Structure formats: structure tokens, C-alpha cells
Amino acid sequence: MDQFGIGQPVRRKEDVRFLTGRGRYTDDFDLPGQAHLAILRSPHAHARIVSLDVEAARTAPGVLLVLTGHDADADGIGLFKVQIEVPARAGTPAMFCPPRRILQTDAVRYVGDPVVAVVAETRAQAEDALELVAIEYEMLPAITDTGRALDEDAPVIWPQRGSNLCVDWSNGRQEQTDAAFAQAAHVAQIELVQNRVVGNPMEPRVAIGAWKAEEGRYELITPSQGVFRVRDPMAKDILKVPPEKLRVISPDTGGGFGLRSKCFPESAMVLWAARRLGRPVKWRSGRTETFLADPHGRDHVTRAEMAFDANGKAIGLRVRSIAAVGAYLLDFGPRIPTVAGARIAGTVYDLQNVNMQVRCAFTNTVPTDAYRGAGRPEIAYTIERLLDLGAAQLGFTREEIRLRNYIRPDQIPYTNCVGNVLDSGDFAGTQALALRIADWEGFPARRAEAKARGKLRGIGLGYFIEASGGAPQEWARLVMTPEGKARLHVGTFSHGQGHETAFAQILHSRLGLAFEDVELVQGDSLVIDQGGGTGGSRSSQMGGVATAMAGEAVLVKAKRIAAHLMEADLADVEFHAGRFRVAGTDISLGWAQVAAAAADPARLAPGEEPGLDEKVVYQRSSECNFPNGCHVAEVEIDPETGRLEVVRYSCVDDVGNVINPMLVHGQSHGGIAQGLGQAVLEDTRYDPESGQLLTASFMDYAMPRASDLPALEVDFNVVPTPVNELGVKGAGEGGACGAPPAIISAACDALGVGHLDMPLTPEKIWRVLNRAA
């Protein structure tokens, strides 16, 4: 069996670099003459800026520059624009996009809103000078409660809008959904909260800006999920220069989870300051600043109901949500709870009568945007909770009611209620495999054993489907060096996924290249022509396919060169396992020989261009593809303290063909950890009176630890997608979609209640137990 080919559990080649301390992250860069920037952020959730005096800060030791929003106006710094448009429901106002400035001048609208930037010789000097800035604020009432944000008496954040409504969106189908409910034999109802979470990647945000006067170009070094996602809006909207006048470099990056794919004010600040000073400027976020300034995720309040016929078949779904977008709109903010999430409305169930209405609301909080799953976990969670309630109401088991509703294999390809075509899947088969791995049938014995120890044990399941793919095209370039090694340039960006390994496996399988002879080049807009970056679990299905296509393009030319060298007809040249051979003979050449000849014009046929260097742009034919999976969790609860422990966890995911099982297992584990974090531990809390962020450090915000997770049993049900030539689907976000409904289902089973909101803190469970008592 091929050790390094597609489907093999190859150890990540990049890990040697990371584990031996040879990774290079943005904070490892220090440019000659570099100064340091620090930011004064609002201490108030909502206040008018009455006066601002920075003169004392300007004369503080080491200070080189003090910047305000007024300076930004004078220098022509532009506004940060939302990158999408969400259509409003018929009869409601169009989406409102408030101005988002680099530094605020008139008012602050959440704790952490940037007001003043100071640049000094050292970071400490810049931070000390912030203490000398004098600001007079006039306090204004604040609203941080998502469920109350649209009440008539709620404080209005943007008076020019007249309310806190950003956009009122719907997928439509209201009349047919109402008709389905009118015929229902049973209706399950639920009110639930999607708790707000903070991404908290291992590497905080960092930005280093430089102005290359001799080239008339800005340079930005910063972690990202794709350099063009940063470069293009930053150049166009903020700096107001052509894209080629801004070079963005992303070195090794420690995690993303959706929040890295944004155009950030801090990145613009260091570029702006660097040009004014004529020297590089660096900013680094502290961990508390991460809580105060990085995008948050989720934060919905939802009422939903599902209509069933007498046989347990779901015939209708209504969802009414208020989704907080924070005080401003980030790049994709209002798209996440609306259009993005609704791509999988109905999830894996044969359910056409679906009416979703989402009102995006402004609140005096950090803006929200994509967080692992980006709208799809919220949809899956709502549907799975309703199915559990429906099962109890109709007298079915939780696994049985799902089997009555799955889209059948003979219905695939299946057009869902928003027009997306589910091209593949074996949902009942995936559930059966997951229940077998989890030993679902053996659970009663485990429950009895736990009861004998004084514990309450429960089991639950959750099914999800993802819409993965992101931007519909991707770029790759493959260059063969004269030594026969490959240099692969890609427009995707690895921030922990293992692309150096996976893409090398693809080229090894296609071209027979030695695994160690493939070098990955990414994250530099000067050497990468274009690319959609990495987000929406798109890299294998987009960058992987583009890589394979670039490999094929190089192979076509290499065969011509080999035929010329071996004095054979092109039709007689065979290629296998990295060697070109004249059919029926022992005459053959390897990559090193062909690549060396390709670099020498004297050895090429007349008219053949030197080099093996091919670029391709892959354009996919479908909107997205649909990885899916069934997750099963078991929990134990201590009835004395309310403490919950996830003691067993199993899942089966369908990610299509698996390029590297070890990598996919790692992605599954990471997603499950984040899903468990939301379900059990993580909760971003604001004080309802002052609007202060109460969970601004790991002293108050419970990040999952290794001890919070049991051993994870992960398997695959491989159902290749027909929409790309590798047959791969996304793999990065499934755990975050499947874990919350599975864990909540298990906790409700242990407690004998219908529903309990996330996170499952000991206090919350203790109160439920004491009410029952």
C-alpha cells in the first residue's frame, strides 16, 4: 500500500517545524526601526464623546505619534464596510449598515470600541501614554440583552435608524408552512438560546505595518485565513489605493475559527501609522484585548416549532430568531444567522415547508461574525432539539423519529427548501454506524451502573449537515525545479489544518513525486496571484482539486518533453509512479531528468517553452457540498453538585473521500472540543446595567481543557461527492455542529427534562434538580 498517497494516515510534515520551535508567527517578526502601537478602548458600553485631549500623551516619553478619528478623516482613511447584502423580508426596511470608523469620534458603542492609538518606541511607553489621554464621556443607556434589543423601550444605538433592527430576513415559504401546520397532528415547540462565544485562537491577533516608499507600497504582516480577504477591502475601502499597492503576508498562523478572515481596524492602524512615521509599526493583542476586540460568535434567541403528522413525519418548521450583530457590522456579520445558516435549512430531513424569519439586532456588544460552522450549527441545534421533543410527544424513540424523517438515498440528489442540491449522503446508514460504535443498545446497563454509584447518566444524539465550499473558485500554481522537486503555490491558507501534508499527498498520488519533495507556498499576495483563502471547510475540495489540476497540467507538458527526449511518439509514452516510459520497452526517465531538460531550451523540441510551470483556476459547478454526520454523547451528572461530565463520545462523519484520516480525525476532535465548550462551559456575559463585559479573561470564561473531554471515537461513512474530481467534502466544522445537540440531548435524558439551555453549568443543572425535588 502506498505510504504517502491519498487515503493514508500520514503524519503532518509541518509538525516537525512547529514542535521543534521553528515555526514563525507574526510576533516573531521584528522589522528594523520598528515602533509599537497601543490602543485606548472605550471603558463604557454606550457614551457620547464630549471632549478628547491627547496633548499630554503626545509629549510622553518615547511617544512618536498619537492618532484619533479626526486625524483619520484628515488623512482620508475610509470606513470599514460590510462585504455582503442581506435581502430584507418583503415589507420591511432594507439592511442598515452603520458607519464603522477606524477610531471613534462622536460616540462609543461597546466596551472595547477603539478611540485613540498611540505609537511609541516601545510597547510599554505606548501603553503608559494611553493613561494620559483625557476623555470626557456623557453616559448613554445601553442594551446588551439580545432578547430585548428590539423591544420598543430598548435604548437605540443608531438614532438615524430609529430602532435596533439591522435587517429582518426570511427564506419565504410562509403560506405553505402555515398550511402544513394547519394539518398537523402534533406540534413540538421550543424556546432556546444560542450562547455567545469567543473564538480565542492560540495565537492572538498581531499586525505589523510598513511603508515601502521606494516602491510606493504598503506591507502588512498579520495572521489571516487568506491574504486576499484582507488585502482587497483594506486597499479599496480603507487606504483607497489599488490592490497591488498593498502586500499582505501571513506567516504561520495559530488558529482561525472564522475570526481571522476579517479586515481589522488594528491592521489599518499600523499601516496608516507606518506611512505617517516612515518606519514599521507593530501591534499585538493581549488576551483580554482578544475578548474585548475580536469578533464573537452565535448569540441568538429563538422560538421554533415543528409540525408532525400522526406517523411522526415532520411536515413543517417555523423558526423565529433574534440574532445579535453587535454595535457595528463586520465583514459578513448579518449573513451568518440568515443566508449562510439557511443554506442547510431542513438539514438531512425531507422537510420542504420551512419558514425562517431572523431579525438581526444591534446591541452594545462586540460585533459578531463567522465562528466555526457560521450559522449551520445553530440550524442543526434547533432542528435536533425539536426532534427530541417531538419524539417524546409522539411516543417514539429519538433514533426512530429521525429514521422516519431522513432524506432517503433514492431521493438524492435532493433539492432542499432553499434550492440547494444535496448531491450525496447516506443519513440512515451513518446513524446506524454511529449508534453501533456508541453501543446505543448497551446504554441501559451503563445507566444502571452509574445509578448504583449515585450518578445520573444520559445518552443523546445529534445529526448535522454542513454547507461547505466558500468562494466558488480557487487558484493553484505548480512549478517543477530543475532538480525534480515541486513548488506548489496555493490560494488557500493553512492555519492549523495540515495543508502541507494533504496537498503533498495529492501530488504524490497524481505525479509520483516524493512526499518530502513538495514545498507549499502560501500567504503572500506578492507571489500568490489570487485565492479564496480557507474558511467554510473549503481547502480540500477547492485547493485540493486546484492542486490536482495543476499537477495534471504539468504532467501533460512533461510527457511531451519526455517523448522528445526518448525520441518516441507522444502516444507511446506511459506514466506511472513518477516515471515516463516508452510502452513495451525499458526506456524510461524520472522527474529529475525531465525537469532538468525542461529548464534547458537547447534540449527542448522547437516551439516548446522552457520550464514546467503551470497555473490553473478551478471553478466548481455547484453552490457547495454537504458533509454530514451523526454524533452520540453520554454524560454523567452528580446530583449533589450539578456537575456534568461528558464520559463517552462517538461520531461518524461523511466527508466524502478522505485524503488523510489522521488530519480529518484532528479536525473532528477540534470541532467537538469547541462544540463541547459551547454546550457545557463557554458563555460570554455582559452586565445588564452597565454593559461591562464580565467574562474578559480565562478567570471568568471557561475554555475547554483536555480533562473536559473523554476519548473520542471517530469513524467515517465514505459517500463521495460527485461534484468534484477528488470526491471530497468539507471536514473542518462538523464537530462544532454535532456536539451541542448531542450533549444537550444526553443531559436532558439524564435529567428527565425536555430542554435546558447551553451552557450546562453546575448551577443551572443544580437548580433543575432542586426544582424537581
The model's pLDDT over 445-482, given as tens digits with 9 standing for 90+, comes to 999 999 999 999 999 999 999 999 999 999 999 999 99
Q: Which residues have CB under 8 Å from 219's CB, separation 6+?
A: 209, 210, 211, 212, 246, 247, 248, 249
Joined grid coordinates for residue 440: 446505543
pLDDT per residue as tens digits for the range 674-692: 999 999 999 999 999 999 9
Q: Which residue has the cell 437548580?
A: 767
- Report the pLDDT averaged over residues 62-75: 98
The H or E element that residue 2 is part of is none
Could you give phi then psi for residue 424, rounded to 5 degrees?
-165, 160
Calculate the alpha carbon distances from 380 to 465, 467, 628, 690 in Å: 7, 12, 11, 34
Beta strands 628-637 and 644-654 are: antiparallel
The pLDDT assigned to 747 comes to 98
Query: How many angstroms separate the CA atoms of 10 and 132, rounded?
Result: 55
Phi, psi torsion values for 187, nearest 5 degrees: -135, 125
* Contact present, 42 and 110 (Cβ < 8 Å): yes
Neighbour tally for 211: CB within 10 Å: 20
Confidence at 772, pLDDT banded by 50, 70, 90: confident
Report pLDDT digits (tens) over 190-204.
Answer: 999 999 999 999 999
Nearest CA to 556 out of 496, 632, 494, 612 is that of: 612
66 — phi, psi (to 5°)?
-125, 130
Torsion, CA 663, CA 666, CA 668, CA 672, rounded to 10: -170
Percent pLDDT > 70 in the chain is 100
Q: Looking at residue 2, what is its pLDDT?
A: 76
How much is the pTM?
0.97
Residue 654: strand pairing partners: 628
Instruction: Count the neighbouring beta carbons within 10 Å of the beta carbon of residue 289.
Output: 19
Q: How many helices (H) and strands (E) does the chain have?
A: 19, 30
Is a pLDDT exceeding 90 seen at residue 773?
A: no
Q: How far apart are CA 163 and CA 155, in angstroms?
A: 8
Dihedral, 524, 530, 534, 535 alpha carbons, nearest 10? 130
Q: CA triplet 581, 587, 592: central angle to 5 degrees?
A: 65
Classify the C-alpha dihedral 239-241-243-247 as positive or negative. Answer: negative
d(CA 420, CA 343): 7
Contact call for residues 767 and 757 (beta carbons, < 8 A): no
Please state, as a whole number, how many other Cβ atoms lie within 10 Å of the Cβ of residue 185.
13
**Average confidence (pLDDT) over 180-190:** 98
- Cell numbers of 314, please? 415532520
Among 329, 349, 346, 325, smallest CA distance to 337 is for 325
Identify whether the C-beta of residue 487 lies closer than 8 Å to the C-beta of residue 481.
yes
Which residue type occupies 242? Answer: P
**Cell numbers found for residue 100:** 464603522
Q: In 3D, which of 658, 670, 644, 674 has the Cα closest to residue 730?
A: 658
User: Which class for 421: exposed (0-12), middle (13-18), buried (19 or more C-beta within 10 A)?
Assistant: middle
Query: Is residue 726 within 8 Å of 144, Cβ to Cβ?
Result: no
Alpha helices in 251-375 (DSSP H): 265-277, 287-293, 341-342
* CB-count burial class (<10 Å; 0-12, 13-18, 19+) for 148: middle
Residue 300: strand pairing partners: 194, 323
Residues 6+ apart with CB under 8 A from 135: 40, 49, 51, 52, 53, 115, 116
HSE-up (13 A, CA, CB side) for residue 762 = 8
Under DSSP, the state recorded for 263 is -
For the beta carbon of residue 136, count every other beta carbon within 10 angstroms: 11
Instruction: Look over the chain and give the mean of its residue pLDDT values, rounded to a whole number.
Output: 97
579-582 β-sheet, strand order:
573-576, 579-582, 588-590
Dump strand ranges (E) for 570-718: 573-576, 579-582, 588-590, 612-619, 628-637, 644-654, 712-716
Q: What is the DSSP letter of 599?
A: T
What's the rounded mean pLDDT across residues 641-663?
98
Query: Which pLDDT band holds residue 261 (cuts at 50, 70, 90)?
Result: confident
Q: Span 578-596, mean pLDDT? A: 97
All three cell numbers of 649, joined, read 463520545
CA distances from 173 to 256, 263, 544 (A): 36, 35, 37
Query: Which residues contact residue 452 at a Cβ distance below 8 angstroms, ignoring those fewer than 6 apart?
Result: none
CA distance 680 to 759: 4
Percent of the chain whose pLDDT exceeds 90: 98
The span from the CA of 332 to the CA of 170, in Å, is: 17
Residue 436's nearest CA partner among 664, 717, 711 is 717
Please state, in angstroms and rounded to a whole number, the distance separating the CA atoms of residues 114 and 68.
Answer: 9
Residue 377, preceding peptide bond in cis (omega within 30° of 0): no
| Helix (H) or strand (E) run with residue 22 in it | none
What pLDDT sits at residue 680?
98
Say whether 402 sits in a helix, a strand or coil.
helix
Residue 348 has pLDDT above 90, yes or no: yes
**Mean pLDDT computed over 4-18:** 94
Q: 277-325 pLDDT, tens per residue? A: 999 999 999 999 999 999 999 999 999 999 999 999 999 999 999 999 9
Contact 651, 665 (CB under 8 A): no
What is the model's pLDDT at position 1? 46
Residue 108 near residue 157, CB atoms below 8 Å: no
